[in-house]
Structure 1
Amino acid sequence: MWEARRMVLVGYGGAEMLDIACPSDVFDSANRLGARRAYAIELASVDGGAFRCQSGLRLVADRRLDQVRGPVDTLVVAGGRSHEAAAADPRLIAQVRRLARLSRRVASVCTGATVLAEAGLLNGRRATTHWAYAEWLAARYPQVRVDAGPLFIRDGRIATAAGITSALDLALAFVEEDEGASLAREVARRLVTYMQRPSNQAQISALLSAPPPEHGVVRDLAAHVTAHPGADLSTPVLAARAGVSPRQLARLFEAHLHTTPSRYVRTVRTEAAARLLETTSLPLAAIARRCGFGSTETLRTAFLDYLDATPSNYRRLHRRTPAPE
């Protein structure tokens, strides 16, 4: 019998409980469903013992980080609202650096990327984090190539997951890598989750879930674009609607939405098309017209760029009960 894979989850006061629970439940379910080589899951923290998660619930670590000896199969660092304090703890950073050298794989969930970045493990690498913290992470650690789009990113043996439940997707990818797609599908079915969202799938609606822009002109145009994805939303038309020049409109979008007008429109249209693919049986040509793409080929290109999936594959993975059309 092969020796169990040692999966070390790193927590701290203020950690997000789901960042710990999602991967641990995936690995536990893989064990229950007959993984050929079992996952030995343990929770470690700097001081050991109990710590309070950001939800207020308490978890009890199995041991202190300095008590963990190699080899480690996978090291997973949780995120949470205290991620900056965690990254400022020299004891935690030293232990994460040490254990990373002893681990086959290293991963972070959500703002756990801050800890990996502080430890120097993301230098020169492409990485992701929760979309709301991506700009902050990029500014704080310019040597990290931050990409706020994907659910998770693998760069060599280092993996970073976008936010909270994206840990499910990353952990399922680990199980598929270790044990094959069949067991990973069974785990996903047991957990009643997708099997599994592609790693490069965008954090859906990240742009549109952000707070509305404070600037009145940008806020009104963003609402107009969202409500009328099939309309003429070219930059000159939007500028005329707002009573500004196209150049001024571009400056306003860059300042308040961190993107260009045309890119914002394309994102909105892609997300509108995604919702129709999820909830209707409309043919692709009809969806393309309704969402302002004009042709199925333009729709397909947008999906490949934004979601790294074709519209047909996206519908297959995400189809819900059709709504009236």
Structure 2
Amino acid sequence: MTRRIEILGFPDCQLLDVAGPLQVFSTVNDLARSEGAKEPYAPVVVGNGNSVRTSAGLSLSVEPMGPPNQPVDTFIIAGGVGVNSACEDAELVTWLRDRTRSARRTASVCSGAFLLATAGLLDGRRAVTHWQRCEEFSRRFPKVRLEMDPIFVRDGDIWTSAGVTAGIDLALAMVEADLGRDMALSAGRQLVVFLKRPGGQSQFSTALTLQGGAGRFDELHSWMQQNLQHRLSIDDLAARAGMSVRSFSRHYRRATGRTPASALEDMRLETARRLLEQNGPVSRVARYCGFGTEETMRRVFRRRLGASPQAYRERFV
């Protein structure tokens, strides 16, 4: 069965919110054809009129929004700076609400969650949106159980995802649910996705968060990431930065807003989470990430995440 997938665009929607999921499903079709199989997806972009101009300035050809009761497998709503105007379009919101009743599953990318919430489709459900708009979302839609951290969230037949590239992760997760893990991984490799991220992974990257202070410590952070398996004392870090310990500690906190020790722990924890999500053995992960022992890593996980490494891993395997 070929699954029809509709991606709703609107004026000033985010280009990648549309193109990211669209390319995932198209890539899966390419892979299926190369194996002599039938294309599993029929992805289309729908909207008012014949085209939609994205916030990037590129216009996309769209199919007209058809009868809301026409069967559709997957209905995805893009986000973008135009979402506020879209939420004020009563006719669009009504059509969207009716359209979801004919869909096997419904999803939003980034701030597209605002449209779902305006239609009342997220009340009482878990959801996520771009981290930058979480405070506004919570204020406007108090009935929604908003989660600020995950890449994407699935609550029954409704999926929501975080900002921009998270739409690719969401689409890959849908492919895995439909066609299995091997196809999802093959599509990820074809798209040169560095890592197929599970939904529970944080929106925030420690490396990105630490890139402050005009890049003063970027080289140090790269070196730390490559040497997590070592002890890395404050003296080691200061020597690598070419400073005295006292001067390094002061300048580092000023540039990043945290101590070197807390930054190092964040790196170790983020790397350990990623490896556990890929079913890495707990003892090996503890050594690789520089925790030394499983017990040390367990204490950090309990303190920071409220779960043991073993319990954390079981969420993803």
CA–CA distance in structure 2, aligned partners of residues 286 and 185 of structure 1: 24
Return the alpha-carbon distance in structure 1 between the equivalents of residues 204 and 309 of structure 2.
12
CA distance in 2, matches of 1:303, 1:27: 36
Q: Which residue of 2 aligns with 1:11?
A: 9
Q: Decide which of 267, 271, 274 is 1:272's aligned counterpart.
A: 267
For residues 305 and 207 of structure 1, the distance between their equivalents in structure 2, rounded to whole angstroms, comes to: 23
4+ runs deviating over 6 angstroms: 275-278, 306-313
Rounded Cα–Cα distance in structure 1 between residues aligned with 2:309 and 2:14: 28
1:170 — aligned with what?
170
Equivalent residue for 1:111? 111
Which residue does 1:228 correspond to in 2? 260
Q: Which amino acid aligns with 1:31?
A: N
Distance 1:20 1:304, change over 3 A: same
In structure 2, the partner of 1:62 is: 63
Structure 1 residue runs of 5 or longer lacking an equivalent are: 213-219, 230-264, 314-325
> 1:208 and 1:146, CA in 2 relative to 1: closer, same or farther beyond 3 A?
farther
Letter in 2 for 1:29: T
Residues in 1 aligned to 2:308 and 2:193: alpha-carbon distance in whole angstroms? 18
SS of equivalent residue, structure 2 residue 43: strand
Q: TM-score, normalised by structure 1?
A: 0.70
> Which segment drifts farther, 159-168 or 220-229?
220-229
- The whole-number CA distance in structure 2 between the counterparts of 1:77 and 1:160 is 9
Listed as ranges, the matches of 1:125-274 within 5 Å are 125-205=125-205, 209=209, 226-229=258-261, 270-274=265-269
Report the equivalent of 2:299.
Answer: 298
Please state whether the residue corresponding to 1:33 is helix, strand or coil. helix
Distance 2:151 2:309 in 1: 11
The structure-2 alpha-carbon separation of the partners of 1:23 and 1:224, relative to structure 1 and needing over 3 Å to count, comes to: closer
What is the TM-score of this pair, normalised by structure 2? 0.72
Letter in 2 for 1:271: D
Q: Return the alpha-carbon distance in structure 2 between the equivalents of residues 296 and 308 of structure 1.
A: 7
Query: 3-state SS of the aligned residue for 2:44?
Result: strand
- Compute the RMSD of aligned alpha carbons: 3.5
Give the partner amino acid of 1:160.
T
- Residues 1:307 and 1:192: Cα distance change in structure 2 (over 3 Å): farther
Give 3-state SS (helix, strand or coil) of 2:74's partner. strand
Amino acid at match of 2:17: D
Structure 2 unaligned regions, length at least 5 = 213-251, 275-283
Instruction: Give the length in aligned residue pairs.
Output: 262
The alignment-based identity, stated in percent, is 34
> Secondary structure of the equivalent of 1:298?
helix
The amino acid across from 1:140 in the alignment is R
SS of 2:258's equivalent in the other structure is helix
State yes or no: 1:97 paired with 2:92: no
**AA of the residue aligned to 2:40:** A
More displaced, 296-305 or 148-157? Answer: 296-305
Shift in CA distance, 304/33, structure 1 to aligned 2, threshold 3 Å = farther
Question: How far apart in 2 are the matches of 1:115 and 1:182?
Answer: 33
Contact 1:129 / 1:161 at 8 angstroms: preserved in 2?
Answer: yes
